[in-house]
Amino acid sequence: MESQAHNFKQRADVALHDMELQKALGMLKGGLASKRSVAVAAMPEFDAVRDAGRDIKEHTLAHLDYYLEEFERNCVAAGGQVHWASSVEDAREIIVKLCADAAAKRVTKGKSMVGEEIGVNEALEAAGVDVLETDLGEYIIQLAGEPPSHIIAPAIHKTKEQVTELFYKHHAKHGKTDRVTEVGDIVNEAREVLREGFLSADVGITGANFLVAESGSSVIVTNEGNGDLTNTLPRVHIVTAGIEKVVPTFEDVSTILRLLGRSATGQEMSSYTTFSTGPRRADDLDGPHEFHVLLLDNGRSEMLGNEFHDMLRCIRCSACMNHCPVYGTVGGHAYGWVYPGPMGSVLTPVMLGIEKTNSLPNACTLNGRCQEVCPMQIPLPSMLRHLREREYTQRLTPAIARAGLAVWAFVAQRPKLYGLATRLAVKALSLLGGKKGRLRWLAFAGAWTDARDLPAPAGETFQQAYRKRMQAKSKGLGG
């Protein structure tokens, strides 16, 4: 999809004033994040499993060429076909060709972020193929003509009322002319409408949570069962996967599965964890006749060993965005491309270049929650700092910010001047704040005070307060 990441500020501003979106985002905190904390607390071994999971991923990345070749060998031995794509253009060409070879009129899709990265839908629609998203969230946003706003709950920005209206508008042609307003009825109507699509599709395209090198299998982890209908019913099954998805063995998958569900939705196991290996066997009564795996690089191989290497451990669980105050305030669409939240603020600039995405690493308070909850212990805040450095050294930082930083650096390198300046500033702000201790407006700080008050400092600088405290302590009065 076309990136809008350069418009982060405007998009965030729109999001902040979108009341429907704010209502939907309000449910985020009580939802996925609290379910995660319950599930993590229920497994005392969580931290040990987390270390093991990180080690498995690091081991695999250190020998990535070997494990990809192993995967390829075993996939082919099981009757599958492996396609390599170094760019999203390669990937689109391969998928369009596979669907043309299959004379596909209709393609069903399971949810796949790599599919979004590639832009599978646009490519196939341009080739005249009917594409049907089958994950309920993806289906909702396909009807709305929108990209996903969350990597595991793509329609999390939509309220029930909005879904009711979408179904009312689009389902009349399926004979559904009433407004469905209860969640149960909404889900049932989607089930009925999509069933026909599942049964008539020529090709099913899914993503992969893992690729297993020892067997050449792809793995999907889902709850709805749509992924399984997608990879079982059509004649051709195509898997799209990033090259970093491979792990050596079934045991390694088992370890990481214990992290994935808990971190994502607070589930010990999702309803369906499915291992697909090759096409249907000679005597099988069902299953696809062809099994294709597309391995996408798209910049991943360059991340190996550089300052963004750790990002390749990401298992796309979404814990980072579920715990991010910025994501929770502006939602996923503000980020402007496929991957939102903290992981997206790293991946988008790395994959698309910092030039057009430089707002993303700055839209972060560096509070560290994302790293704390990341099952793969990815140091997201430090990577965002690396990106800010990259932005600065490439002179992409706005002139006014550069000038401000230069003034600050000049003062900060002169302790006496720094002490004087901060004492004066703190005093002045404290006076301006008055009894309430808050400023409703401040010259040059409109960006802050337009949306909220600025808390005024208490009257002394940190250094003054610290000195006082140490003096009190040395007199035996402090504690």
Q: What is the C-alpha to C-alpha distance for residues 361 and 349, in angstroms, rounded to an integer?
A: 8
Question: Between 273 and 329, whose beta carbon lies closer to other proteins?
Answer: 273
Q: How far is the CB of 129 from other proteins (least distance, A)?
A: 17
Q: What is the C-alpha to C-alpha distance for residues 281 and 359, in angstroms, rounded to an integer?
A: 51
Q: How far is the CB of 55 from other proteins (least distance, A)?
A: 8
Q: How far is the CB of 307 from other proteins (least distance, A)?
A: 12
Given a contact cutoff of 8 angstroms between Cβ atoms, the answer to whether 88 and 296 are in contact is yes
Q: What is the C-alpha to C-alpha distance for residues 371 and 382, in angstroms, rounded to an integer?
A: 9
CA-to-CA dists, residue 85 to 262, 269, 311, angstroms: 32, 32, 20
Question: Between 63 and 468, whose beta carbon lies closer to other proteins?
Answer: 63
Structure tokens at 179: 């407004």
Taken as a whole, the chain contains a residue count of 479
Q: What is the C-alpha to C-alpha distance for residues 186 and 172, in angstroms, rounded to an integer?
A: 14
Question: Between 8 and 198, whose beta carbon lies closer to other proteins?
Answer: 198
Residue ranges in 266-362 assigned as alpha helix (H): 300-303, 319-322, 325-330, 341-352
**What are the two backbone dihedrals, phi and then psi, of residue 12, each rounded to the nearest 5 degrees?**
-65, -40
Residue 474: CB atoms within 10 A of its CB come to 9
Buried (b) or exposed (e) across 396-423, using 16+ Cβ within 10 A?
A: ebeeeeeeeeeeeeeeeeeeeebeebbe
Q: How far is the CB of 275 from other proteins (least distance, A)?
A: 4
Question: Between 41 and 472, whose beta carbon lies closer to other proteins?
Answer: 41
Q: How far is the CB of 427 from other proteins (least distance, A)?
A: 48
Question: Between 12 and 153, whose beta carbon lies closer to other proteins?
Answer: 153
Question: Between 69 and 130, whose beta carbon lies closer to other proteins?
Answer: 69
Question: Between 48 and 432, whose beta carbon lies closer to other proteins?
Answer: 48
Q: How far is the CB of 361 from other proteins (least distance, A)?
A: 22
Amino acid at 252: D
Angle between helices 136-144 and 183-200 in degrees, nearest 10: 90
Question: Between 104 and 247, whose beta carbon lies closer to other proteins?
Answer: 247
Q: How far is the CB of 2 from other proteins (least distance, A)?
A: 24
Q: What is the C-alpha to C-alpha distance for residues 369 and 17, in angstroms, rounded to an integer?
A: 25
Q: How far is the CB of 118 from other proteins (least distance, A)?
A: 14
